[in-house]
Structure 1
């Protein structure tokens, strides 16, 4: 197992290097430059700006300087937010995105696992059919459509929750719901499928014959055996919630990492885009690695080659 994870980590480093390189060149090769929004800028001032932000010289020289600074933990200065380093921006916005993604992650798992288990238990009954219809609708509606609808209903019409902002529990509920519920519907259908297979197995019939209560059979014996696909999906789920939060952050006016990423792309801020992409990639690799480790711990049937 140790050698397996060493190989995974080494391969992840190569993937990370490829992502960093590809992101840097894609942003720099885009038409225009980070200072094209400046009006009536003279060539002398442009050269000074490029020298200040280490964007002078050939593209390969810029790339080499960026990698050298990256090895020292310096993500460079943002060209969009003057006099602010990318390290500072990520340090301020990453906790916001993690909080939003974490709340959405808990909501998605709580809703998905509970509804999936109950749907499997009441298989082919009205509750199961209603749940399947709701989850299908939740999967079909993207978050950028669900969010304005929720704002209209819960914030404007019912006035139960604030329509935007960040900083209080009330302001976290609506964006977390809009971000987490579509993924919770996926977890629900995944849980239902796994639980249906488990609930028809012989040892569950034996547990019922011994007189165990239904909640113990469902949530202890059944869910434990059906946990592998849920755990395997939890890694990509956590990464998707973090990377997918940029749309929700834009809609609800949340100053998270995703909103800065979008702003950086629109303004060709190569260092901000590269820095945020690096953090997103690290989190994606980390979550997938943790999910694989949990799968190995929970399911002894998995054999590493």
Structure 2
């Protein structure tokens, strides 16, 4: 396992370096002058030159890139252009826990509901229940996040008046965003669980267990589901990444002060330090999630780490 872990960590280094290079280049090619955005209409040529020197924008591009990477390593994400004097790190420190809570609850609910749905569909293939579950999960994958959000708001907030439309701070504010974010991961998990269980149930050792007279529940839970859990864990890890990306739209619609809303606001305000910090943070987050998923996969199936 240590050798497998070192290999996976080594594979992450080129991805991180490539991401820093892409973020740096796009930040320099983006429209608008950062100094003019920072100073607004009050900057004169002398003030602009002084600000450009303070930001290091008057230095050669290779030196700017090395300074950019050095700041990232030190955890210095710069200062917001839209809110002068406000550190980007402080802004993200307030927004990230909100998105983490929202995405974690969404994926947790998706696993708790999606796995039983996939199990029910696999135990009764080609039945009415199986077809209904497949139809609903297909709709959950196909319908965009914003359409689901608008539909839930119309029904539960405007018509029934059960839940608030937007806001943050009370448990009721979590319900609709969690439903929106969790629907697509739930659909993926249910369909993957069904497909994996159908494949496992056709294996020889499952037929042998049935021939020995084991109850159907024991065959399904102790043998089939136990061997299908590797694929389910992998899907759950990918679903968490999907929930984080879906938060961009969901948080904006429901007015939730998370990473998604902060990023959308920064894009409209051309707040490049915030955008760059979000890209780097999400890159690191996705790499960590993939690493944890692979480690869980290797722990559950030793053949993977031995083959590596």
**Separation of aligned partners in 2, 1:219 and 1:181:** 25
Question: Does residue 194 of the first structure (1) align with residue 190 of the second (2)?
Answer: no
**C-alpha distance in structure 1 between counterparts of 2:265 and 2:47, whole Å:** 23
Deviation, 1:212, is 4.2
The residue that corresponds to 1:102 in the other structure is 104
| Corresponding residue of 1:134 | 136
The match for 2:265 among 263, 266, 273 is: 263
Measure how far apart 1:162 and its partner are.
Answer: 0.9
| Cα distance per residue 1:200-254 (max 9 Å; x no partner) | 3333334445554444433332211111222222222212211321111111111
C-alpha separation in 2, matches of 1:54 and 1:171: 43
More helix by share: 2
Distance 1:214 1:166, change over 3 A: farther
* Cα-to-partner distance string for 1:124-163 (whole Å, 9 max, x where unaligned): 1111011111011111101121111111111111111111
1:182 paired with 2:179, answer: no
Does the Cα contact within 8 Å between 1:139 and 1:185 map onto a contact in 2? yes
Residue 8 (structure 1) aligns with: 8
Say if 2:23 is the partner of 1:23.
Answer: yes
1:111 aligns with 2:139: no
The Cα of 1:11 is off from its aligned counterpart by: 2.0
On the 8 A contact 1:120/1:195 being kept in 2, the answer is yes
> Which of 163, 170, 173 pairs up with 1:171?
173
* Match among 182, 206, 226 for residue 224 of structure 1: 226
Distance in 1 (alpha carbons) for counterparts of 2:246 and 2:58: 34
TM-score, normalised via structure 2 length:
0.91
Unpaired runs of at least 5, structure 2: none
What 5-or-longer segments of structure 1 have no aligned partner? none
Question: Residue 145 and residue 50 in structure 1: after superposition, are their counterparts in 2 closer, same or farther (change >3 A)?
Answer: farther
Secondary structure of the structure 2 residue equivalent to 1:74:
coil
Out of 149-158 and 41-50, give the one that drifted further: 41-50
Show the counterpart of 2:241. Answer: 239
| Aligned partner of 2:46 among 22, 44, 47 | 44
* TM-score normalised over the length of structure 1: 0.92
For the 8 Å contact 1:33–1:268, the answer to whether it is kept is no
Tell me if structure 2 keeps the 8 A contact 1:232–1:295: yes
Structure 2 residue aligned with 1:205? 207
Alpha-carbon distance, 1:74 to partner:
1.1
Q: Is the 8 A contact 2:99 2:244 kept in 1?
A: yes
Q: How much does 1:79 deviate?
A: 1.3
